Amino acid sequence: MKKATFIKNAFIMTATALLLRTIGMFFRVYMSNKIGAEGMGLYQLIFSIYVLGSTFATSGICTAVTRLVTDELVTGTKKSVNAVLRKAIVLSVLIGVVSALLIFFGADPISRYWLKDLRAVPALKVLCFSLPSMGVSSCLRGYFIARRKAASPSRAQIFEQIVRIGVVVFLIDRFAVLGLTFACVAVMLGDTLAEIASCLYLAAGYFHDRRKVKIPPSPPVKQRHGVLYRLLAIAAPITAGRYLNTILRTIENILVPSTLTKYSGSKEKALSSFGALKGMAMPLLFFPSSFLNSLSTLLIPEISEASALHQQKKVNRAVGLTLQITLLSSILLSGLFTMFARELGLVIYNSEEVGFLLLVLAPLMPIMYVESVVDGMLKGLNQQVSSLKYMLLDSSSRIVLILFLVPSRGMEGFLFIMVLSNLLTCFLNTHRLLSVTGMRLKWSTWILKPVLAMCTGAASVLLLIKATPLHTLPRIWILIIGGVLAAGLYCLLLPLLGCITREDLRQLRPSRRQEPPEVPEEPAAARTDW
């Protein structure tokens, strides 16, 4: 693919993600004002079941479709491309219907015995109708990503968010007067109608695009296994990983309010603390990761294609550049969130508790971001089984630690568990990636020097604010001015410290012409130098 096309797609997906996250952040603030912290806690409990159902419904199919369609576009035929998508959709619909039936008829026992709150029953029954269309949408997104057409799924996401917000804003006041139960029903009804609308939009885009598919004039490569086998070989480990992770995280989301109740003696206080962490602080921490998520998604077809053609240099170049961008940007964001944690909590949520949570968790942002991006790259390198093993270890250890620490230490204990968990998973995933690619992590230029640059910039700006009338300004202006100054100093120090070179900038510069193809290297099994 042309470098310019990759950068264009990354820009489209990043801009879309930033727009949606901005809208979503304001929407969460709107919902928290409408239903309060307890309502957000109840919504978070329901949402954990929603994630569980959607994980089963999508079944890792997006990644599988992306990889298989990418392979068929390079070595197959137009017919084989359509065959991959057709069978993936049939499989997704079947799984989505099963998921919907399980949640619909299991809503009462799930709410009674799992969530410990019968107010969740109506919302659970509403959300199940979104699951079949969610699976189809996942297949179609995988197709467009493989086709390097990021605009179609991006437009679908915007359309989906418009429908969601429109439905919720129209219904929530009418439903909220009936209690938190019906307020959550309004939110889930918005999610359901939005998913259906997005699916229809993507389907229309696919029927328009499929006539434009062009396959290189090379003899098709006959695959050893059928489409269904190949789909399941990729999707099954990813699905198992996501599903088990979702189950374990759902158990976690049920255990945390319960164990916090044991610590504080108040269910309302426990739900409020849980809602402040999972419904307010965590979305804010992940808000700036739009570019990195886009990059991770777009790298799957690039890495898959290069790996299939045994172009190891291209794989390593993509992996190295991605790690560098992820670390440099996340260290900046971590520093900014740490500097202005209290101000962010008060300005956005009018909550000092959220500010404290941001202060504790902000230093973890590089670890969380690297973990997310590395996981995507491992899947592109056919290492989904390794991701599954590490996830099981992480999630199961979290649950054990929650049972022991949270009842006696409260939120402090849970925050310690989160820190330990992220460190473990990031280390295991990164170590596996470096082992597979034969690369080395550049500790000095990618981590130590950027941290020094951020500390220098942060200290300088904080001293400037305290020594000048800037500290008398409203908090929002302190955030804006201080953030811009600290980010500017950081970006200025990076090239001076050798963290960014001319070669790095050259790799990011769009090229107007197609890059010459690499000569395929030896298969990894035949190599002895790494």
Domain boundary among 201, 231, 254: 254
Find the range with the poorest average confidence among 10-24, 233-247, 469-483. 233-247
What pLDDT is attached to residue 313?
76
- The range of the structural domain enclosing residue 154 comes to 38-254
Domain end position, chosen among 227, 254, 281: 254
Q: Model confidence over 293-345: pLDDT tens digits?
A: 666 666 666 666 666 666 677 777 777 877 888 888 889 999 999 998 888 88
- Residue 408, Cβ neighbours under 10 Å: how many? 11
Question: DSSP for 36-98?
Answer: HHHHHHHHHHHHHHHHHHHHHHHTTHHHHHHHHHHHHHHHS-HHHHHHHHHHHHHHHHHHHHH
Based on the domain organization, do 249 and 171 belong to the same domain?
yes
Tokens 């050259």, residue located = 506
Give a yes or no: residue 422 inside a domain. Answer: yes
Asked whether the beta carbons of 14 and 325 are under 8 A apart, the reply is: no
Q: Is the pLDDT of residue 275 over 70?
A: yes
Q: Is the pLDDT of residue 215 over 60?
A: no
pLDDT given at position 177: 80
Within 13 Å and on the Cβ side, how many CA atoms surround 124?
A: 28
**Model confidence pTM above 0.85:** no
pLDDT in tens, 81-127: 778 888 888 888 888 888 889 888 988 888 888 787 888 888 888 88
The answer to whether residue 9 is domain-embedded is: no
Higher confidence at residue 372 or residue 186?
186
Domain count, the chain: 2
Domain limit, last residue, from 254, 287, 322? 254
Q: In the prediction, which pLDDT does 304 show?
A: 65
Say whether both 347 and 291 belong to one domain: yes
Q: Per the domain annotation, does 195 fall within a domain? A: yes
Return the structure tokens found at 22. Answer: 């901005």
The answer to whether the beta carbons of residues 248 and 396 sit under 8 Å apart is yes
How many helices (H) does the chain have, and how many strands (E)?
21, 0
Q: State the chain's mean pLDDT as an integer.
A: 78
pLDDT at 194: 92
The whole-number pLDDT of residue 522 equals 32
Residues 242 and 375 in one domain: no
Query: Does residue 66 have a pLDDT over 90?
Result: no
Per-residue pLDDT, 525: 31
> Is residue 114 one of the residues assigned to a domain?
yes
Helix axes 449-467 and 312-339, enclosed angle (nearest 10) = 20
Let me know if residue 15 belongs to a domain. Answer: no
pLDDT at 528: 27
Say if residue 282's pLDDT is above 60.
Answer: yes
Structure-block tokens of residue 161: 């968010």
Instruction: Report residue 398 CA to chain centroid gap.
Output: 20
The answer to whether residue 62 sits within a structural domain is: yes
Residue at 244: amino acid letter: L
pLDDT, tens only, 431-455? 888 888 888 888 888 889 999 999 9
Same domain, 328 and 452: yes
pLDDT greater than 60 at residue 516: no
Among 163-167, 464-468, 506-510, the range of highest mean pLDDT: 163-167
- Supply 205's token pair: 């885009």
Same domain for 278 and 239:
no
Asked if residue 473 and residue 445 are part of one domain, the reply reads: yes
Buried b (16+ CB within 10 A) or exposed e, 238-260: bbbbbbbbbebbbbbbbbbbbbb
Mean pLDDT for the stretch of residues 414-431: 87
Residue 456 lies in a domain: yes
Report the share of the chain in percent with pLDDT over 70.
Answer: 82
Claim to verify: residue 271 and residue 225 sit in the same structural domain: no
Asked if residue 226 and residue 158 are part of one domain, the reply reads yes
Say yes or no to pLDDT of 220 above 90. no
Q: What is the 3-state secondary structure (H, E, C) of 325-370?
A: HHHHHHHHHHHHHHHCHHHHHHHHHCCHHHHHHHHHHHHHHHHHHH
Instruction: Please report how many Cα atoms fall inside a 13 Å half-sphere around the Cα of residue 180, on the Cβ side.
Output: 19
Q: Which residue has the higher pLDDT, 503 or 339?
A: 339
pLDDT above 50: residue 456: yes
Residue 292 has pLDDT above 80, yes or no: no
**Same domain as 356, residue 232:** no
Whether 292 and 417 map to the same domain: the answer is: yes
Judge if 102 and 73 occupy the same domain.
yes
pLDDT band at 504 (very low <50, low <70, confident <90, very high): low
User: Are 312 and 350 found together in one domain?
Assistant: yes
- Report whether pLDDT(523) > 50: no
What's the confidence (pLDDT) of residue 506?
64
**Is residue 288 in a domain?**
yes
Return the percent helix, strand and coil in the chain, to nearest 5.
Answer: 85, 0, 15
